[in-house]
Amino acid sequence: MKSNRREPPAPRGGMLFLAIALTVALMVILVVLDGPLRNDVAGSGTITFELAGSPERAAEIVTSWEATGDKTRAAFALGLDFLYALLYAFAIAGACLAIGRRLRKRGWRRLGALDVPLAWFAIAAGLLDWTENAALAVVLIDRPASPWPEIALACATPKFVLIAVAILYVLAAGVASLVGKTRAKA
C-alpha cells in the first residue's frame, strides 16, 4: 500500500554540511569560553548556571564570576549561545530529515517516518534554548530574581532531552542505514 505522506524537503547537502561545521566550530568556541567559568561554585560552568533553578543559586554563580572577573565572559558566551541554538537546531533537524529520507529509500519506512517529528524536536530545543538564554540574560545583567532562574531550568531540562533524542535518532538510524541491508518493498 502506497503511503500518502509527502516527502519533506531534503536539506541540501552543502547547506547541511555547512550548518554542522559551523555548529561544531561554535561549540568549540563556547567550550573554550566556558573553561574559566568552571570554578568551585559553578563546577560545570554555564551548564551549572542554566540548571541553577533558584535566585540564590544563580546569585552564587554570578558572584563567583564577578569575583574572578569572568562575568563579561559569561555574558559574551550567553550571547553566542543564541547563535549556537539556531545553528544546532538547523543542523540536527536537517540531519534528521536527511537520514529519514535515506532510510525510506532503503525501505525502512517506519524508522524513516520518525524524521519529521524528531526534526521538530530539534527546532523545539532551539526555541527552548532561546527562552532559557533570555531568562539567563536577565539574571546575569539585572539581578538573580524569580522567576528567571526557574524559567531557565524549566527550559534547559527538556532542551537537553529533546537534543539527545534527536541526535540518538540520527546516530542509530545512520548506523542502521549503513549496516542494514535494503529492506524488501512491502
- In this prediction, residue 128 carries a pLDDT of 98
- In this prediction, residue 170 carries a pLDDT of 95
Tens of pLDDT, residue by residue, the chain (186 residues): 455 556 666 666 688 999 999 999 999 999 999 999 999 999 999 999 999 999 999 999 999 999 999 999 999 999 999 999 999 999 999 999 999 998 988 888 898 999 999 999 999 999 999 999 999 999 999 989 999 999 999 999 999 999 999 999 999 988 887 776 655 444
Of 151, 124, 150, 148, the closest CA to residue 138 belongs to 148
Per domain, the residue ranges of the chain are 13-178
pTM of the model: 0.87
- In this prediction, residue 131 carries a pLDDT of 98
